Structure 1
């Protein structure tokens, strides 16, 4: 007797649920785009050796733009800022769940705010100068933080801000300490013994390096000596601030350019190489040997 064939019934496959699409954060996108315009403009003027609008030679803005704080790890600070605004814009445009996206955007903006505040305070306290382009970027990232703070999506109740800020705050604090260390030479190589010996020789023989704290070329001169710069016979000509008069010692020497070296009866304007300083001060640069 022939068996009846039984047809197997398969359960219909469940359709894969469509991934929800979230609208971009247009407000954050707009603010980050404006920040990219500001920092992008500064990057272009830096790479083309141009001068940003309102940053004439010797102006407060120019002093900041020419200072050692205008670069970080060999790249313009404006380029780092452009990269941060770009990341914020990408995150704001991604289709992610709003709470997770908000946390990422707030953390990035908060770091940018602390970074901008740090550089602004350094310019004010160390250089007695402010860059209005940098201040505009600071205002933009501040607007991002304020806007995101007041637009926080509904999250679980509880001590949200305390836990959230603690986690992000520790990370930002570590990065800020590392940043401060980079700018203050904590990670510099030890002083070159030869440069250290030259610096001590210049000091011992009565040479004087006249400069000003806000002078970019003075910072470049010190950078040539690295950690040995602390031994240079440096004299500060603007002890009372950038806009105050010259110190009496500088005025009596008719110092009008920075840096100016006085070695014996010889005056040298501008940055000097170690070889030239050695020659003028009669330091045996070629034959110097480290002490045993």
Structure 2
């Protein structure tokens, strides 16, 4: 008995071509979206303008779920996915691949459907996470989710599938697997987060490292000199900066909470400073963003004491 295969019935259908082109355009927008976020996380780009306020975007993208293992930003996964979509949409349209166009078209439509289904399902979970758990709105995340859904619709419309029943069955099965995997991942991250972060809303996690004598002296020097660290309780990089000082020294710093839902926040002051990210240091009237080694902070503030940090 022969094996029935689900194939695209339109080989030279203009409809298929316009769908591919439309998907290529959407994938390009996705590459720009996720690429910008990734480059910002790696420090190659400055502050991104986030419609409807930057606080929500920063809160979502800098949350525990915004980073994978070894500090790899989640946006990098999206970037790779959009690049893959772009390549699969363009391959059958290239002049040098016309000989195997029919087979290539069938295979790439399957790839487009599989990848866009996975992206749409995962994006739905991430949106739910942002709304229900993180409780913040991120324009870039909504844009990526919208692109994923549109790509899925176009892959269904443009593929010209013979058996819609098999297509639906495989799509639902794949989406279910992705949804379950996503929920397991979210729960695992949440468990680790609960073990390390204070339960009070708006309160940063406790600093655990012990402070050296030099770190204590530097912290006191910064405080006396009026140096300010602008922070957000949900910002992992802010916590990293405090851990460099250690528990005792970080308590000596002048730290301004910038998150609008943070405890004792001074969000209006932070907005007036036009900060480019968290943490941001204001030393001698100059603002510099990013986690700073203690030696750099010593140089910026004119610290002359011991540097055995």
TM range, normalised to the smaller chain?
0.5 to 0.7
- CA gap 1:166/1:33 in 2 versus in 1, 3 angstroms: same
Which of 162, 167, 171 is matched with 1:165 structurally? 171
Which of 140, 143, 151 is matched with 2:150 structurally? 143
- CA gap 1:33/1:68 in 2 versus in 1, 3 angstroms: same
Instruction: Give the CA RMSD over aligned residues.
Output: 4.1
- CA gap 1:151/1:67 in 2 versus in 1, 3 angstroms: same
Structure 1 residues 80-116: Cα deviation after superposition (integer angstroms, max 9, x where no partner): 1101101112222233443332121011011111222
- CA gap 1:129/1:75 in 2 versus in 1, 3 angstroms: same
- CA gap 1:86/1:218 in 2 versus in 1, 3 angstroms: closer
Which of 54, 61, 67 is matched with 1:65 structurally? 61
- The aligned residue for residue 265 of structure 1 is none
Distance 2:266 2:73 in 1: 26
Alignment of 1:90 onto 2:90: no
The offset of 1:58, in angstroms, is: 6.6
Q: Which blocks of at least 5 consecutive residues in structure 1 are unaligned?
A: 1-19, 200-207, 226-241, 259-269, 271-292
The offset of 1:140, in angstroms, is: 1.3
Tell whether the 8 Å contact from 2:122 to 2:179 is kept in structure 1 after alignment. Answer: no
Corresponding residue SS for 1:117: helix
Distance 1:125 1:137 in 2: 18
Which of 165, 172, 186 is matched with 1:180 structurally? 186
- The aligned residue for residue 116 of structure 1 is 123
Distance 1:215 1:107 in 2: 38
Normalised by the length of structure 1, the TM-score is 0.55
- The aligned residue for residue 73 of structure 2 is 76
Which of 32, 49, 54 is matched with 2:50 structurally? 54
Corresponding residue SS for 1:212: coil
Tell whether the 8 Å contact from 1:211 to 1:218 is kept in structure 2 after alignment. Answer: no
- CA gap 1:123/1:21 in 2 versus in 1, 3 angstroms: same
